[in-house]
Amino acid sequence: MTKGKLIGNKIKTLREAKGLSVKELSQKAKISEEQLVTLEESEVLPSVAPLINIAKVLEVHLGVFFDDDNSLGPVVCRRDESDEQVNLSSAKSKKHMNYFSLAKTKSGRHMEPYIINFEACTEKDFIMSSHEGEEFIFVLEGAIVITYGENTYTLFAGDSIYYDSIVEHHVECDCEIGAKVLAVVYSPM
């Protein structure tokens, strides 16, 4: 089963366990019914913002959608063990970011740490996203551009940014060869 199908099954199972209809969850998560049905029934991977909204309504952490096991103790992620990537699409279905979860087996976590590889992307047409919580990004390689509200920040290797993700934002690569970042997302339940 693909990662998209696993996420869709988890959304549907959690929604049904909460006794919510598709219409109720879509309204509370501020996404269309069609988008929710697509997520539940197909192999489409959504962008992070709708997943955070769905997780909040379902009262689970974002990582529940990516979890394979649950560990109460510390989770160590070795560099040769973090090769399972999730390619999340943006609102326009561009697939330019590959997410590598660094804590997918840690149960009860409040933060989601990722290594994100940005593929070179010359297309500058994007839709801003927003969700409750905070984000921290540290650039490991290359350069990224972060549009945050009406401001734009260019970060290079060694630079970092910490921001409230309730403000509309967008992150993209700023070079022809791509970029690699460490990102930590916190989303309250």
Q: What is the pLDDT along the chain (189 residues), one digit of tens a residue?
A: 566 677 888 888 888 888 999 999 999 998 889 989 988 887 777 677 788 889 889 888 777 776 655 555 566 666 666 555 555 544 443 456 788 888 877 777 788 898 989 887 766 677 788 888 899 999 999 999 999 999 999 999 999 999 999 899 989 887 777 899 999 998 776
For position 124, what pLDDT does the model report?
67
Contact 16, 58 (CB under 8 A): no
Contact 75, 31 (CB under 8 A): no
For position 91, what pLDDT does the model report?
43
Strand runs (DSSP E) across 59-168, as ranges?
86-88, 97-101, 111-118, 134-141, 143-148, 151-156, 160-164
Q: Could you count the other beta carbons within 10 Å of the beta carbon of residue 126? A: 16
How far is residue 36's CA from residue 12's CA, in Å, rounded to a whole number?
9
Residue 89 in tokens: 């699409």
Instruction: State the alpha helices, DSSP H only, in the chain.
Output: 3-17, 22-29, 33-41, 48-58
> Is the pTM value of this prediction over 0.85?
no
Ramachandran assignment for 53, one of left (phi > 0), alpha (psi -120 to 50 degrees), beta (any other): alpha
For position 7, what pLDDT does the model report?
83
Furthest CA-CA distance within the chain? 47
Q: Which residue shows structure tokens 């510390």?
A: 74
